[in-house]
């Protein structure tokens, strides 16, 4: 970090904590959609095909639209982008609680997805701006909020919606309103920074103008490599997040309750790894964290299908710990490649990650139906070996010194 780069102050650290809380609430609300599928299927008499159609509509809104919305706000920055996005989520949740047919349900989840597509690239932009140069650390704080939110969403659905019907989804609008309240001081802070930027006071805005470190060709190639790494990571994590409990129940005969406890062990490791990956990348370089995270998980993933219950649970902890450290490092590396397109880059990587995870869950489910759940883990175990492509990533620290 250069000496003229703005340092993180108490104010900007509070902004980071607020953004992490916003991410937590947003991802908790987003997870309400998939967690409510069994309830919607029963109450609205939907088929599995119609559930798949709802998922498609949601994924298009929540994934495909992210880079487009990020690019829009790159060109037309707005201090109120976060509350605007959460307002879409708020309206979508209320509409979903009132839905009575397939079309109305699809419109509702589309609005919720648009809210997520706005929040992720914009909040990532502000996280970078508030980082004071510690961009990996800042992204880790931001990301761990989302991990926690995604894990508690299904629990809230089980407590609030499942016993009383999908009309109780309306209660989640309270969380959306709370998120908007938290967003207001963040938006006011951002408004001041936009004013500084317009006046050319970049340091006061927490923004350090820098040149693109690589040529256009090398930048495109590096983005392609990073997307390949995201692909390998989220294929494997989708297998664990979606089917780990089924794997434990089928292979080891554990109870549903025990399988949930073992899933929590993995999710806990994911949270720890996410928090560690960013700061380590700040100190030793993003490329080395990516190397260790993706490729470093391979020995554990290859070993896990051949272990007993205790070994499987222990190995899953190390898999979660190692592989989760990659995303903050990958995202910040990509942002450094295109420093003037933070919204586009953040939206592209979040959108691609969500899209890959969604498609992978569906494909792996079919594979489990055809070949058994153990076959899923025997095949997915090889995905982290794609981490070998990290070899072709340039070391950005060396390019900055030239």
pLDDT of 156-203, one tens digit each? 887 888 788 889 999 999 999 999 999 999 999 999 988 877 776 555
Print burial letters for 290-308: b (CB count within 10 Å at least 16), e (below 16).
Answer: bbbbbbbbbebbeebbeee
- The CATH number of 215-402, from 1.20.1250.20, 1.20.1250.10, 1.10.287.610, 2.40.110.10, is 1.20.1250.20
Q: Are 319 and 266 in contact (CB under 8 A)?
A: yes
Cα(266)–Cα(368) distance, rounded to whole angstroms?
A: 21
Domain 8-209 falls under CATH 1.20.1250.20 = yes
Q: State the sign of the Cα–Cα–Cα–Cα dihedral 34, 120, 293, 357.
A: positive
- pLDDT of 211 reads 67
Residue ranges covered by each domain of the chain? 8-209, 215-402
Q: Are 282 and 298 in contact (CB under 8 A)?
A: no
- Taking alpha carbons only, the member of 324, 150, 299, 142 closest to residue 230 is 324
Cα(132)–Cα(123) distance, rounded to whole angstroms?
A: 15
Residue pLDDT, tens place only, 215-270: 888 889 999 999 998 888 888 887 776 678 778 888 899 886 787 678 878 878 88
pLDDT at 116 over 80: yes
Domains 8-209 and 215-402 share a fold: yes
From the centroid of its chain, how far is CA 162? Answer: 26
pLDDT at 4 over 50: no
Cα(66)–Cα(249) distance, rounded to whole angstroms?
A: 36
- Taking alpha carbons only, the member of 234, 270, 323, 60 closest to residue 145 is 270
């Amino acid at each position: 970090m250069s000496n003229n780069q703005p340092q993180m102050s108490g104010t900007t650290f509070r902004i980071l904590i607020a953004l992490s809380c916003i991410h937590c609430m947003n991802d908790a609300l987003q997870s309400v959609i998939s967690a409510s599928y069994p309830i919607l299927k029963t109450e609205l008499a939907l088929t599995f095909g119609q559930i798949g159609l709802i998922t498609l509509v949601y994924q298009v809104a929540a994934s495909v639209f992210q880079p487009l919305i990020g690019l829009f706000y790159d060109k037309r920055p707005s201090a109120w982008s976060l509350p605007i996005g959460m307002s879409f989520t708020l309206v979508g949740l209320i509409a979903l609680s009132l839905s009575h047919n397939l079309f109305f349900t699809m419109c509702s989840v589309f609005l919720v997805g648009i809210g997520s597509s706005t929040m992720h690239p914009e909040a990532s932009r502000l996280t970078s701006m508030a980082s004071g140069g510690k961009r990996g650390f800042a992204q880790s704080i931001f990301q761990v909020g989302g991990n926690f939110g995604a894990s508690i969403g299904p629990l809230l659905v089980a407590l609030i919606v499942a016993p009383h019907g999908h009309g109780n989804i309306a209660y989640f609008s309270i969380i959306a309103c709370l998120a908007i309240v938290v967003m207001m001081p963040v938006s006011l802070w951002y408004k001041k920074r936009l004013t500084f930027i317009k006046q050319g006071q970049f340091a006061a805005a927490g923004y350090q103008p820098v040149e693109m470190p690589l040529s256009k060709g090398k930048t495109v190639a590096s983005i392609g490599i990073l997307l390949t790494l995201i692909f390998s990571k989220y294929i494997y994590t989708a297998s664990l997040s979606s089917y780990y409990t089924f794997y434990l129940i089928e292979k080891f005969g554990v109870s549903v309750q025990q399988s949930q406890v073992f899933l929590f062990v993995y999710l806990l490791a994911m949270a720890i790894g996410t928090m560690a990956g960013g700061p380590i990348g700040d100190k030793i370089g993003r490329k080395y964290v990516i190397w260790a995270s993706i490729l470093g998980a391979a020995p554990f993933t290859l070993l896990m299908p051949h272990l007993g219950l205790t070994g499987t649970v222990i190995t899953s902890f190390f898999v979660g710990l190692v592989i989760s450290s990659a995303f903050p490092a990958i995202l910040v590396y990509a942002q450094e490649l295109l420093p003037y397109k933070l919204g586009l880059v953040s939206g592209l990587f979040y959108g691609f990650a969500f899209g890959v995870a969604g498609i992978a869950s569906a494909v792996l489910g079919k594979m489990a139906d055809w070949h058994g759940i153990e076959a899923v883990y025997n095949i997915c175990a090889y995905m982290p070996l794609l981490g070998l492509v990290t070899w072709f990533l340039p070391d950005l620290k060396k390019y900055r010194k030239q």
